[in-house]
């Protein structure tokens, strides 16, 4: 069972906020169940030369509830996050699926200007 991930950002060159859209696609030939232990289905990180500068889950509480997403072959789902008031610079953004017993990750570069 193969999951493929892609990560897009919409910084639009401003320091107001950066939106992250993490798309997870079932690239296999059988349906996949993604099981989650809480309401945080994906983690988003922003890294500057190996140093973490922002983490979506930092300082947040998530409802402890079991849930699942089913992906049929070729089907995709998206998870989103917002980084508010980022510092200007060029960063590496990383998105990681938080499903139990499934892994999927994607990275991209994001530039924030004054």
Q: What is the pLDDT of residue 64?
A: 84
pLDDT, tens digit (0-9, with 9 covering 90-100), for 46-85: 999 999 999 999 988 888 888 999 999 999 999 999 998 8
Question: How far is the C-alpha of 83 from the C-alpha of 17, rounded, in Å?
Answer: 5
Q: What is the pLDDT of residue 16?
A: 81
Question: How far is the C-alpha of 61 from the C-alpha of 51, rounded, in Å?
Answer: 23
- State the average pLDDT over residues 84-104: 93
pLDDT of residue 12 exceeding 60: no
Q: What is the pLDDT of residue 35?
A: 94
Q: How far is CA 76 from CA 4, 32, 94, 99, in A?
A: 9, 11, 18, 15
pLDDT of residue 114 exceeding 80: no
User: What's the total number of domains in the chain?
Assistant: 1
> What average pLDDT does the chain have?
91
User: What is the bridge-based pairing of β-strands 89-97 and 105-112?
Assistant: antiparallel
Q: Residue 65: which of 91, 97, 40 has the closest Cα?
A: 40
Classified as helix, coil or strand, 81 is strand
Domain containing 39 equals 3-112
User: What CATH number is given to the structural domain containing 59?
Assistant: 2.60.40.2360
* 34-66 exposure pattern, b = at least 16 Cβ within 10 A, e = fewer: bebeeebbbbbbbeeeeeeebbbeeeeeeeeee
Q: What is the pLDDT of residue 11?
A: 63
């Amino acid at each position: 069972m193969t999951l493929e991930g892609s990560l897009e950002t919409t910084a639009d060159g401003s320091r107001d906020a950066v939106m992250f859209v993490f798309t997870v696609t079932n690239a296999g030939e059988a349906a996949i169940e993604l099981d989650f232990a809480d309401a945080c289905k994906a983690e988003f990180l922003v890294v500057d030369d190996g140093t973490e500068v922002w983490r979506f889950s930092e300082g947040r509480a998530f409802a402890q509830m079991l849930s699942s997403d089913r992906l049929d072959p070729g089907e995709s789902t998206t998870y989103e996050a917002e980084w508010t008031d980022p510092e200007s610079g060029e960063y590496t953004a990383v998105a990681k699926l938080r499903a139990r017993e499934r892994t999927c990750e994607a990275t991209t570069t994001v530039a924030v200007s004054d």
